[in-house]
Amino acid sequence: MNMRTLRRRPLRSGFTLIELLVVIAIVSMLLSIMMPGLKGAKEAGKQIACLSNIRQLTMGWTSYNADNEERLCAPHTRRSESIVSPNPVEDAKHRWVKEEFPFDVFDENKVVIRSGVLYSYVNDPGPYKCDADRFKRFRSYAMAHGMGAKVILDDLNPVTRFTKIKNTSSKIVFADAEAGIEQFQVSKSFCPVSFRDGWWQRLSYRCFISARHRKGSNFSFADGHVEDWKWKDRRTVDLALGIIEATEAPFISVNNEDLARMFKALRVD
């Protein structure tokens, strides 16, 4: 090979089209392998953050009880719910959050949260909202009706003092709840079942179970611990997501193990 031949041969630089296509195909394949893992990690992160939120709220709730001679704060959210209680004025004062209307989206200053009795203990609106809650609202959590309400709801007898709760480790205080309607608050106290009839019950304007964490939901308990529940019955998930209509709730309650678990966790007496 002489110098003339060397000069004529073009110097190779960059990729050929075939090489470029191969690189793109490999990168695409790697991304398709990694994406579910990344998505799963992101969802797991949101669930952990949510568990941290309800843990903070429950610590606040515990402190409130201790500061008020074991008297539980009121789990309902609206003043109108206090009217049926024996002492409506006093009961309304002790609501954990204080909303008067269901349209939370207009509460830009988060007055509902800031005016509640728990705000002295959790004085940041952030932990009141779940990151995985796709609806535009400021609050995602609801408090179990049996924890401090003054009225019997569907044969559910609430307790009003911490010392009256039996088996604190198995009784729900906060639920990562769902209203199911854009811009609506997760209103009232948490009671997604009918104790009288023995079935799931989804009433309008009342919060319900959610399934926003990998087909499950998060709960806190009266002893302060938190749990992530995976719904075991596919019908429960569909009901939580609104795929099954509320009117069909009684019909999917037969042999529903999620429902049986919920009954046990909500009954406090």
Torsion of CA 233, 102, 124, 121, to 10 degrees: -80
Within 98-208, residue ranges assigned H as helices are 111-114
The candidate with the shortest Cα–Cα distance to 233, out of 220, 219, 251, 221, is 251
- As measured in angstroms, the least distance from the Cβ of 261 to Zn ion is 18
The candidate with the shortest Cα–Cα distance to 180, out of 221, 140, 130, 222, is 140
Within the chain, residue ranges assigned H as helices are 3-8, 17-67, 79-82, 88-93, 111-114, 234-240, 257-266
Task: Name which of 130 and 252 has its Cβ closer to Zn ion.
Answer: 130
- As measured in angstroms, the least distance from the Cβ of 137 to Zn ion is 13
Distance CA 214, CA 27 (A): 28
Return residues touching Zn ion (CB under 5 A).
Answer: 50, 130, 132, 176
Task: Name which of 72 and 130 has its Cβ closer to Zn ion.
Answer: 130
- As measured in angstroms, the least distance from the Cβ of 76 to Zn ion is 21
- As measured in angstroms, the least distance from the Cβ of 59 to Zn ion is 17
Which positions ≥6 away from 40 have C-beta within 8 Å? none
- As measured in angstroms, the least distance from the Cβ of 214 to Zn ion is 11
- As measured in angstroms, the least distance from the Cβ of 231 to Zn ion is 14
Task: Name which of 129 and 267 has its Cβ closer to Zn ion.
Answer: 129
Task: Name which of 46 and 79 has its Cβ closer to Zn ion.
Answer: 46
Task: Name which of 49 and 246 has its Cβ closer to Zn ion.
Answer: 49
The SS3 call for residue 175 is: strand
- As measured in angstroms, the least distance from the Cβ of 209 to Zn ion is 12
DSSP assignment of 22-90 equals: HHHHHHHHHHHHHHHHHHHHHHHHHHHHHHHHHHHHHHHHHHHHHHTTTBPPB---BHHHHTTSSSHHH
At 250, the amino acid letter reads P
Task: Name which of 50 and 262 has its Cβ closer to Zn ion.
Answer: 50
At 9, the amino acid letter reads R
Task: Name which of 99 and 176 has its Cβ closer to Zn ion.
Answer: 176
